[in-house]
Copies of this chain bind each other. A is one copy, B any other.
Amino acid sequence: MNSFQFVNPTHIVFGEGTANQVGQLTAKHGKTVLLVYGSGSVKKTGLYDKTVSLLQDAGVTVHELPNIEPNPRLSTVNKGIAICREQSVDFILAVGGGSVIDAAKAIAAGVPYDGDVWDFFTGKAVIEKALPIGTILTLAATGSEMNGSSVVTNWEENLKRAFGSSHTYPKFSILDPTLTYTVPRNHTVNGAVDIMSHVFEQYFSLTENTPLQERFCESILQTVIENVELALENPEHAAARANLMWSGTMALNGGMISVGMANDWASHGIEHEVSAIYDIPHGAGLAVIFPNWMKYVHEERIDRFVQYATRVWGVNPAGKSDQEIALEGIQATRDFFTRIGAESRLADFEIGSEKLDRMAEEAVRYGAIGSFKRLEKQDVKAILELSL
């Protein structure tokens, strides 16, 4: 285990009906709110009307930024920053999934910054302050509800980049699993893949002597595996929806499950290059990339893949080589993703080999990526080719 620091100040309010507390929770932090949301599903479900009404009852003035894209765009973030400045907004409320929350964080960081908010994504500047934000989560996936990270796409330049800051942890996040009852099947699938992928990025690590962290990771993987099909069969399965939601939050709550461990994040980096060009859903891209990353890198540390196969997938090791056990675990991952309905090939999105070289080039623009196995351009390209 390496040395580490950990702190996570986000206040979680979890359970059915907790969205009713949004007025009082928001009023603690701000008087003029920018309400950020997505494509309008929150309007269909009535959550939008309820939220606006509760905010107004709490004496809060509401401005709004609708239509956050599934891969939130820099142009939209800049629109939000402009509204906040014009209207003297002092709090941002994100109602939605990860993309909405990520956009809200970027706006929050951008408002008090004199330069271009994109500077925070390119590393040109570091966030020193941000408006406070809160969230009502409507999708089990991202973990963004309990961390300081944000991913935004600069569509003009086909660049998808991330920042992480201690200033952009939500002050509160309302997690009402019943709000996910109406999540469409494919979003439920992509969300589950996203949660598992967040764990993979932390679990497949070269750091030694981290048994508790590894078991926390395995706990989340097993819980997602056991619950996602229940939620797909019955979208109003209360326990499954609650377990998926809490798994998503725990999977990326500031890295608690992997404190003191080197993280990898190469697969996310590769996926970001795909969706920066083709605008496919993040979870869908990960379902394609991750099993191929596993195949490509597993020999770096076969014992972790053996542990993964046996503990998470119950692979029986009797009479098998480590290599066989590891590959069985990777195949179980692929089969599971396929069984729940996730895509397995880039071709499923009509993505061919044309831009593979460019994506590989972009993925390593600052040097090799990943820590489990350092990936150079040719490695990234090989993983993308496996994914065709």
Contacts and interface: CB of A to CB of B under 8 A. Distances in A.
Interface of A: 1-18, 208-209, 211-212, 215-216, 218-220, 222-223, 226-227, 238-239, 242-243, 246-247, 250, 259-260
B260 A208 contact: no
B211 A215 contact: no
A8 B8 contact: yes
A253 to B, nearest CB: 9
Contacts of A242: 1, 209, 260
Contacts of A15: 2-4, 260
A324 B41 CA distance: 52
B246 A259 contact: yes
Contacts of A227: 211
A239 B3 contact: no
A74 B224 CA distance: 47
Which of A7, A212, A223, A238 is most buried by chain B, counting CB atoms within 10 A of its CB?
A212
Contacts of A7: 9-12
8 contacts: A3-B14, A4-B12, A5-B12, A209-B238, A211-B243, A212-B223, A216-B216, A246-B260
A3 B14 CA distance: 5
A209 B2 contact: no
A5 B14 contact: yes
A243 B260 CA distance: 11
B14 A6 contact: yes
Nearest to A220: B212
A223 B8 CA distance: 23
Nearest to A222: B215
A212 B219 contact: yes
Given A215-B219, A260-B14, A239 B208 contact: yes
A17 to B, nearest CB: 8
Contacts of A3: 14-18
Nearest to A12: B6
A11 B9 CA distance: 9
A216 to B, nearest CB: 6
A226 B13 CA distance: 34
Given A9-B7, A219-B219, A212 B14 contact: no
A276 to B, nearest CB: 32
Contacts of A4: 12, 14-15
Contacts of A1: 239, 242-243, 246
Contacts of A222: 211, 215
A131 B321 CA distance: 58
Nearest to A14: B4
A148 to B, nearest CB: 14
A15 B15 CA distance: 36
Given A215-B218, A216-B216, 19 more contacts: A1-B243, A2-B15, A3-B15, A3-B18, A6-B12, A6-B14, A7-B9, A7-B11, A8-B8, A14-B260, A209-B239, A209-B243, A211-B227, A211-B243, A212-B243, A212-B247, A215-B223, A218-B219, A219-B219
Nearest 7 pairs between A and B by C-beta?
Answer: A3-B15, A215-B219, A209-B239, A7-B11, A212-B223, A6-B12, A9-B9
Contacts of A9: 7, 9
Contact of A13 (B5, B10, B208, B243): B5
A40 to B, nearest CB: 28
Contacts of A247: 212
A182 B103 CA distance: 50
Contacts of A212: 219-220, 223, 243, 246-247, 250
Contacts of A223: 211-212, 215
